[in-house]
Amino acid sequence: MWPFSLYMKGVSPCEGMAEYRMNIIKRIFFNDLKHVISNFFILVIVVGVCILPALYAWCNIYSNWDPYGNTGNLKVAAVSLDEGYKDKDGTYSNSGEAIIENLHDNDKIDWQFVETEEEAIAGVKDGSYYAALVVPKNFTYNMYNILFEDVDKPQLIFYQNQKINPVANKITDTVVGTIQSNIEEQFIKTMTQRIFEGTNTLSSDLEEDGGVDRFIEKLKDINKDLISYQDTINVAIRGNATLAAAAGEAQGDTKEMQKRATDSANTIGQAATNVAQSKTTLNGYTSQVNTSVDSIQNTLSGAIATLNEAKVSNDLKTMTDAAAKVNQDLTEINEKLGNLAASLTDPNTQAALKVLQENVKTANKAMDLVITAGNSAVDNNLASKREDAISAINTAITNLENMQKQITNNLMPQINQSLDGLTQILENSQNLMNNMASVLGGMNNIFGSLQVTANSATTSLEKTSEALGMLSDRLTDAIEKVEAAADGDKAKILMETLSGDPEMYGEFFAEPVHIETEVLYPVDNYGSAVTPFYTTLAIWVGALILTAILKVHPDHTKYEGAKGWQLFFGRYALFFLMGQLQTLITVLGDLKFLHVQCLHPVYFWLASAVTSMIFSLLIYSLVSAFGDVGKAAAVVIVVLQIAGSSGTYPIELLPEFFQKVYIFFPFPYAINAMRESVAGFYEHDYLIYLLQLCLFIPVSLTIGIWIRRPFKKMNHFMEERMEETEMM
């Protein structure tokens, strides 16, 4: 109900009710603000809470300002064991010493020059050095004799301690790769330079002696050597290509074989399980057979007892009735024997059962004769027929006992022994398949490494082949021009063609293609590049700290008649204001204190302000709806976003889980909007990112206003229980 005073002012009920509701929200906000300002202790805490997120962002940005610019502090040992190489013309070269001399001028790494390989390795192991570079003793020899079949490929040995720091390992890997490229370029440069020095010398000799024809023959010989060298290298390139292709195919085959071996192991394991189940089932059948045999024996013994009772009574009718009963029992026994024979597969046992059935049939016929004789009142042979029946039944009992012994003592032990042997074979086969799968997995890794090595070698050989080809083309062109020219012009053409700067030619052939990199949206330093991420993270941390320091529920008894949503927005206004203060301090520090690169400072602040509003509203809603559980949820959300928001690493490099869920969190959109402000806009991306970020407003309000209601009593119950612990 709206106040009467508003009615007296001529305010309509609808307008008055809206104004009244807004007045409640304003009252809550201004009362909260008054309490903060009037209490010095609270004011100090609030100021600290506003500054703390900024400190978090500034420290992280500054620590990441230019980490790769300080790689000169990384200690890496270097030692050359190279013995050098003396060419046929007496020229001595030592590439290892040249490498060490170049490293003295390299300030990208803090190179530590040691005397022995053992000293370098010991330093890597104890953590004195992050890595060690060792030049083997035959390095120069292999470099200058690379075209001979019995010479190993030149190699540098690189020791690395991966335990100390993962990023340092990546940096040292890059440094070693750069050294390798420099050595390859220097090798090509030196070889080319020597060739042109030789041609210049020959040009001088030509000018002095005038032996044009003889000199042309020398050029042809040199050209043949170049072509031969190039052919040799091309053969090696094709061999490497074949090797890489074969390794790739073998890798695919081993993967398929590994899968088949694993599947076979699983199938064999299932077969072993089935054999064990069959053994259990067979033992159950044995028990059933013994039960059936015992039942038949009891029935036959009962038939004999019945006939003996009739013999004692010596009464014709009694004898006839007894014979009829025995006859019925024998018929049932015959059926049981038939069923038993159907359930057994052993030929000997089935033959014994057939004999039993014949014995029972004989007894059955004897009983038929007894019954016929009794009915005809002729008992001359009645006793004899009865004795024949009893004899047949006794024979059947004896055969039945023999059959049971055969099953129990012979047949079943043999079957169990066979099944046990089969189980052992299957288990051994399963172990063999599992071992084979493991071996194939190792082979798969070996083939993968072999393919990488072959491709790397091919790249180096292709550069050398290209350089030799260009030299050969130049000589071929010179020879053709000279041979086509008049005799008086041949010497002049040779001089013009072959003379030149050997060092210039060497530099060209060492690096015939120059890559020109044009950076789009350049960023001055790494610290500026990570500013969007750490600023976004600081804003979230600031909102989380606010919910830990301040209560999210105002005292509803002070605002009689206030609705839940009014209390929600009334207290949130204070959270919003403090979040904006935190953000403003953070942004000003980024721009004025750290001097991060930012092409559009106002838009950077705007993106940060919108981010603060979204984050504070979302976290405030979670805590308002779920209490301490909401605080825990906010922590879990920020942990997931730190790992998978593409703030530092591209999302494509992260595990598949983060690639699927990161779009459902606000961090990526906030970070991308700030990146647009820092490095430059692309079309309307800035606005799109902010609109995507604003999609979390209705989500937050739904949690804070509507989902909060059913959890209200549960939250109150949990708060009381936590207070009772006197610890939380």
pLDDT at 529 over 50: yes
> Does one domain contain both 557 and 674?
yes
Is pLDDT of 352 > 80? Answer: no
Q: What percent of the chain has pLDDT over 70?
A: 58
| pLDDT for residue 515 is more than 50 | yes
Q: What mean pLDDT do residues 645-665 have?
A: 82
CB atoms within 10 A of CB 700: 23
Same domain? 313 vs 406: yes
- Asked whether residue 541 is assigned to any structural domain, the reply reads yes
Residue 243 lies in a domain: no
Helix, strand, coil fractions of the chain, as percent rounded to 5:
80, 5, 20
Please check whether residue 197 lies inside any domain of the structure.
yes
pLDDT digits (tens, 9 = 90+) for 582-640: 999 999 999 999 999 999 999 999 999 999 999 999 999 999 888 888 888 999 999 88
CATH code of the domain in which 326 resides: 1.20.120.230
Higher pLDDT, 167 or 648: 648
Does a structural domain hold residue 451? no
Give mean pLDDT, residues 670-694: 93
pLDDT at residue 587, rounded to an integer: 96
Cα–Cα distance measured from residue 422 to residue 430, given in angstroms and rounded to the nearest whole number: 12
Q: Check pLDDT > 80 for residue 544.
A: yes
The tens digit of pLDDT for each residue in 316-342 reads 566 566 666 666 766 766 676 666 566
Closest CA to 265 of 422, 423, 419, 427: 427
Mean pLDDT of 181-191: 55
Three-class DSSP category at 132: strand
Of the two residues 6 and 79, the one the predictor is more confident about is 79
Q: What digits encode the pLDDT tens for the residues 465-513?
A: 777 777 777 777 777 776 666 655 665 665 556 555 555 544 544 455 4
Q: Which residues contact 154 (CB under 8 A, 6 or more apart)?
A: 139, 142, 143, 146
Segment 389-416 mean pLDDT: 68
Least confident of 335-344, 407-416, 637-646: 335-344
Residues 158 and 295 in one domain: no
Quote the CA–CA distance of 446 and 440 in Å, as a whole number.
10
Domain housing 85? 74-209
107 vs 348, more confident: 107
What does 401-429 look like in DSSP terms, one character per residue? HHHHHIIIIIIHHHHHHHHHHHHHHHHHH
> What span, in angstroms and rounded, lies between the C-alpha atoms of 388 and 385?
5
Q: Of 209, 241, 261, at which residue does a domain stop?
A: 209
Q: Are residues 56 and 80 in the same domain?
A: no
Joined together, the tokens standing for residue 337 give 């024997």
- pLDDT digits 0-9 by tens, 37-50: 888 888 888 899 89
Statement to judge: residues 78 and 58 lie in one domain: no
Do 563 and 679 sit in the same domain of this protein?
yes
Domain boundary among 158, 184, 209: 209
Q: Quick one: pLDDT band at residue 66, thresholds 50, 70, 90?
A: confident
Residue 353 lies in a domain: yes
Confirm whether 484 is domain-assigned. no
Give me the number of domains the chain comprises. Answer: 3
Q: Is the same domain home to 27 and 79?
A: no
Of residues 615 and 275, more confidently modeled: 615
Distance, CA of 478 to chain centre: 58
Q: What are phi and psi of 133, to 5 degrees?
A: -110, 125
Residues 337 and 194 in one domain: no
> Do residues 59 and 80 both lie within one domain?
no
Question: 657 Cβ partners below 8 Å, 6+ apart?
Answer: 644
State which of 438, 468, 497 marks the end of a domain.
438
pLDDT at 130: 84
Mean pLDDT of the chain: 74
pLDDT band for position 678 (cuts 50, 70, 90): very high
Give the pLDDT score at 598: 93
**Whether residue 395 sits in one domain with residue 283:** yes
pLDDT at 728 over 70: no
Q: 322 is written with which tokens?
A: 């007894």
pLDDT for 377 equals 46
pLDDT at 154 (0 to 100): 76
Confidence of residue 378 (pLDDT cuts 50, 70, 90): very low
Same domain, 610 and 641: yes
Residues 549 and 616 in one domain: yes
Residue predicted with more confidence, 54 or 397 = 54
